[in-house]
Amino acid sequence: MTPLLVATTNLGKQGEFRRLLAALDAEIVVPGDLGLDLDVDEPFDTYAENAATKAAAFGRASGLLSVADDSGIEVAALDWGPGVRSARWGGPDKADSLLAALTDVVDRRARMVCALAVAIPSSRDPRVVGPAAEPAVELFGGVVEGVVASERRGVGGFGYDPIFLLPSGVTTAELADADKDAISHRGRAVASALPRLRELLASP
């Protein structure tokens, strides 16, 4: 099978991507499988730019079709932050930090946002000429609306999942993996990319 690189070292994301991409006729690999140790800066103010930078860097280093995402939580009471800084915001436990920041806050509207970048190596993209050419990058996205819960609930998922409350009344940490994947921001982004990934994997 053709390898498809999931360009993240986050173990929680790796697990989700392996599930979300399992239907593809591809060998899902992660940086550790290839001995890749890249530290890619994510300095931009948009999820799309950060995801594209990461996917392209891993695509260049590996020569493989690569996917990367940038994602975060946006909270109305925090001027729709922390957003792209979600992974670097707050203390060691991001969920607890967010709960503390929203103590006594009434408006708890929030959304989870994901930008997914697919880096296409020059060898698979007829529009690009030359072995040293930059990978082409295509972007996909997913959003899920909810609110921030008043306390942690559930033991599944990772990151902000225990405090992200869906309209159905459960947090994403209370969902079974398959149920979460069907509605999550990352699940929706991957679902939108699957037809294109199938085309790319089927091409010579």
Instruction: Kindly tell me the burial class for residue 73, based on how many C-beta atoms sit within 10 Å of its own C-beta (0-12, 13-18, 19 or more).
Output: buried
Residue 100 has a pLDDT of 96
Choose among 79, 91, 71, 88: nearest CA to 164: 71
Does 181 qualify as catalytic in the annotation? no
Residue 123 has a pLDDT of 64
| Residue given tokens 């992974």 in the structure block | 87
CATH at 122: 3.90.950.10
Q: How many structural domains compose the chain?
A: 1
Q: Are 62 and 5 in contact (CB under 8 A)?
A: yes
Q: Crossing angle, helix 185-202 and helix 11-20, to 10 degrees?
A: 60
Is pLDDT of 79 > 90? Answer: yes
Between CA 26 and CA 22 the distance in angstroms is 8
Residue 203 has a pLDDT of 81
DSSP class per residue in 150-204: SS---SSSSTTGGGEE-TTS-BGGGS-HHHHHHHSHHHHHHHHHHHHHHHHHH--
Is pLDDT of 130 > 50? Answer: no
Between CA 61 and CA 78 the distance in angstroms is 37
Is pLDDT of 88 > 60? Answer: yes
Mean pLDDT over each residue of the chain, to the nearest integer: 93
The residue annotated as part of the active site, out of 25, 33, 37, 70, is 70
Determine the structural domain holding residue 17 and report its residue range. Answer: 2-202
In the chain the beta strands, taken as DSSP E runs, fall at: 2-6, 26-29, 65-75, 81-82, 109-120, 136-148, 164-165
- Residue with the larger pLDDT of the pair 128 and 110: 110
